[in-house]
Amino acid sequence: MNFKDKTVVITGGNTGIGRELAIAFGMRKANVVVNFIVNEEAAVETISHIENLGGKAIKIFGDVTKLDDCKNIIDKSIKVFGKVDVLINNSGITRDNLIMRMSEDDFDKVIDVNLKGTWNMCKSVTRHMMKNRSGKIINISSVVGIMGNAGQSNYVASKAGIIGLTKSLAKEFGPRGITVNAVAPGFIETKMTEALPVEVRENYMKQIPLGKFGTPEDIANSCIFLASSRADYITGQVLSINGGMI
């Protein structure tokens, strides 16, 4: 699939799954916008990697919890590349704990980044995509947003909220030719999962019928499909990439 002359904005596009997404679209000739809030060095490295592959990419600082920052991300993307064709809301954080020990601040931070951040970015791109009567929005949810998980009430609530937001916006945006879908990854090989204790990793592995963690490339492949013309008649859906967990 080729995305030549298409502009793809990826929040949290400098590391982990976001970086894999940025490179995957860059390899397919898209104009890639790498949003970041920390670790600018990683954003620079990601852009350099894309450019070495013959693609075009820029980095834009922006805190997705701030609506003005989100508007700036979209406005700068349009100024440089002329339009935004695809928005991937990938930014996310965790602050895990049992609810009796979880602070209000930890709950609020996770909801602000994961759920409100997704809402902020969707709101910021709305007028542009509606004017163009086209666009693809892909929101990164999680398997736990579907099945729940002890010790992650804040994270699960945010990811379940993203699914509800996705379904609602699909109905709002559909008449203007804009699709809105969600991807719900299971356990993916990232620095976060690599840091888990061996016994925890083994316990999670037992829950996966395929017997292995997924890779960031697995998530990138699903987003490439949803962003392509092959998915033009798919909207309001949740694509689960979890090795059969649910």
pLDDT for 184 equals 98
- What gap in Å lies between CA 96 and CA 103, rounded to an integer? 10
Pairing status of strand 238-241 against strand 178-185:
parallel
Report in angstroms the alpha-carbon separations of 129 from 74, 135, 138, 174, 246.
11, 6, 14, 11, 34
pLDDT higher than 90, residue 218? yes
Place of tokens 């990793």: 201
Mean pLDDT of the 175-190 span: 96
For the chain, which domains are there? Answer: 7-241 (3.40.50.720)
Q: Residues of the chain with pLDDT > 70: what percent?
A: 100
| 3, 81, 119, 155: the active-site residue | 155
| Cβ(114)–Cβ(162) below 8 Å | yes
pLDDT at 193 over 80: no
- Is 63 a residue whose pLDDT tops 80? yes
Quote the pLDDT of residue 1: 83
**Is 78 a residue whose pLDDT tops 90?**
yes
Contact criterion met (CB below 8 Å) for 98 and 150: yes
With cut-offs at 50, 70 and 90, classify the pLDDT of residue 186.
Answer: very high
Name residues whose C-beta falls within 8 Å of residue 104's C-beta, 6 or more positions apart in sequence.
Answer: none
Mean pLDDT along residues 77-95? 97
pLDDT band at 197 (very low <50, low <70, confident <90, very high): confident
Q: What angle do CA 41, 44, 49 make, to 5 degrees?
A: 125
In this structure, what token pair is assigned to residue 113? 């980044």
| pLDDT tops 90 at residue 194 | no
HSE (side-chain half, CA atoms, 13 Å) at 35: 26
pLDDT digits (tens, 9 = 90+) for 32-50: 999 999 999 999 999 999 9
Task: Give the list of residues 6+ apart from residue 14 with CB closer than 8 angstroms, or none.
Answer: 22, 34, 35, 36, 39, 40, 42, 43, 46, 59
pLDDT at 192: 72
pLDDT for residue 243 is more than 90? yes
What is the reported pLDDT for 89?
98
pLDDT, residue 191, reads 76
Query: How much is the average pLDDT of 187-201?
Result: 82
pLDDT confidence band for 190 (50 / 70 / 90): confident
pLDDT band at 20 (very low <50, low <70, confident <90, very high): very high
What pLDDT does 147 receive?
Answer: 96
Q: What is the pTM of this model?
A: 0.96
Judge whether 155 counts as a catalytic residue. Answer: yes
pLDDT value, residue 48: 97
**Residue 198: pLDDT band with limits 50, 70, 90:** confident
